[in-house]
């Protein structure tokens, strides 16, 4: 769930099986994109999964050409794929794969290509295809995404280098990322309130939290940095992410850093990162995640030092 310029580094290659060379051949004029995904149930095999991506091109013509080329290559490699039509979006290129109960759509609108992939995991398990529901979900996804794009004006390529690399100094307050599975949310970036919900693991509750705490900026690098309206708001954010709930337990903070709060995951899901630590300084809250306790302690201690020295 992140912006990208290289499809092989975005996760896009996991849903559209094209090498970098193939993608560059099909997507002439590609500038950058954004991809995110989610599912309707925490249990994968009971869920509908949605992957949505927007690819930005240099002009309308290159977007239309890329949508057609990407669709043809992707459908050709999908075993048993059948072309189909979305009644509301008849110009979209869509195919259905009965074996995996998924529906894939490439829709060119202006200088953008919207990629939507809907997968019915439960239907796949019981070998029952509900194409009507998949079609409805795909249509709703295109409705929402195309509506949001109407107000989005991409920065012209010749002006990209004029943009600030670090908005409001947010990345300067985040510790550097490690090259390991702990840092899985994409390249370092600064998001506004709405964009930050795309990298959230609980976007519904975070939307409420951000409103209550007045969060207007979030940065991701080797940590998450949240800028709240004031120090009380930052403490609210740190406390919320340090709430143990039912599958975490409180553990001691690092020595010499009693203001930090740390949790250990006690659930049965192997892919959940084991340790979480939070801290707040002035109007900034920070959260780090790590699979090793020493790493967690070192990272939250370093993060606290960075925030203190950024005053």
Q: How do residues 213-252 score in pLDDT, each as one tens digit?
A: 999 999 999 899 999 999 999 999 999 999 998 899 999 9
How much is the pLDDT for 21? 82
- The answer to whether 96 and 84 are in contact (CB under 8 A) is yes
Chain-wide mean pLDDT for the chain? 89
Task: Looking at 157-222, list the stretches that DSSP marks H as alpha helix, in order from N- to C-terminal side.
Answer: 193-196, 203-213
Domain edges within the chain: 2-157, 164-310
In the DSSP assignment, the letter for residue 44 is G
- pLDDT tens-digit readout, 299-310: 999 999 999 999
Burial class (CB in 10 A: 0-12, 13-18, 19+), 64: middle
Largest Cα–Cα distance in the chain?
Answer: 63
- Residue whose structure tokens are 């995996």: 100
What fold does the segment set 2-157 form as a domain? Protein Transport Mog1p; Chain A (3.40.1000)
pLDDT in tens, 166-211: 999 999 999 988 755 444 556 788 999 998 998 888 889 999 999 9
Cα–Cα separations (whole angstroms), residue 151 to 146, 147, 148, 154, 193 = 10, 8, 6, 10, 17
Backbone phi, psi, residue 212, to 5°: -65, -40
């Amino acid at each position: 769930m992140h912006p990208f310029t290289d499809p092989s580094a975005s996760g896009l290659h996991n849903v559209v099986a094209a090498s970098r060379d193939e993608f560059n051949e099909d997507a002439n004029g590609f500038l950058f994109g954004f991809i995110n995904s989610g599912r309707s149930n925490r249990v994968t095999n009971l869920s509908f999964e949605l992957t949505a991506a927007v690819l930005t091109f240099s002009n309308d013509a290159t977007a239309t050409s890329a949508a057609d080329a990407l669709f043809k290559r992707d459908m050709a490699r999908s075993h048993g794929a059948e072309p189909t039509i979305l009644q509301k979006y008849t110009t979209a290129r869509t195919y259905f794969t009965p074996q995996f109960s998924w529906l894939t759509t490439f829709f060119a609108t202006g200088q953008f290509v919207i990629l939507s992939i809907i997968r019915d995991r439960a239907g796949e398990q019981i070998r029952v295809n509900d194409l009507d529901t998949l079609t409805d979900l795909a249509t709703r996804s295109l409705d929402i995404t195309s509506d949001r794009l109407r107000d989005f004006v991409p920065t012209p390529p010749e002006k990209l280098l004029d943009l600030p690399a670090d908005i409001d100094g947010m990345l300067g307050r985040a510790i550097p990322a490690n090259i390991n599975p702990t840092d899985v949310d994409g390249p370092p970036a600064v998001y506004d309130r709405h964009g930050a919900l795309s990298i959230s693991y609980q976007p519904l509750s975070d939307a409420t939290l951000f409103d209550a705490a007045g969060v207007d900026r979030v940065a991701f690098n080797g940590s998450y940095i949240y800028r709240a309206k004031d120090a009380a708001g930052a403490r609210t954010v740190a406390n919320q992410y340090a709430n143990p709930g039912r599958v975490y337990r409180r553990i001691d903070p690092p020595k010499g850093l009693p203001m930090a709060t740390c949790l250990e995951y006690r659930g049965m899901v192997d892919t959940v990162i084991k340790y979480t630590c939070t801290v707040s300084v002035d109007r900034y809250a920070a959260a780090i995640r790590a699979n090793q306790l020493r790493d967690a302690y070192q990272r939250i201690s370093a993060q606290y030092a960075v925030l203190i020295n950024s005053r």
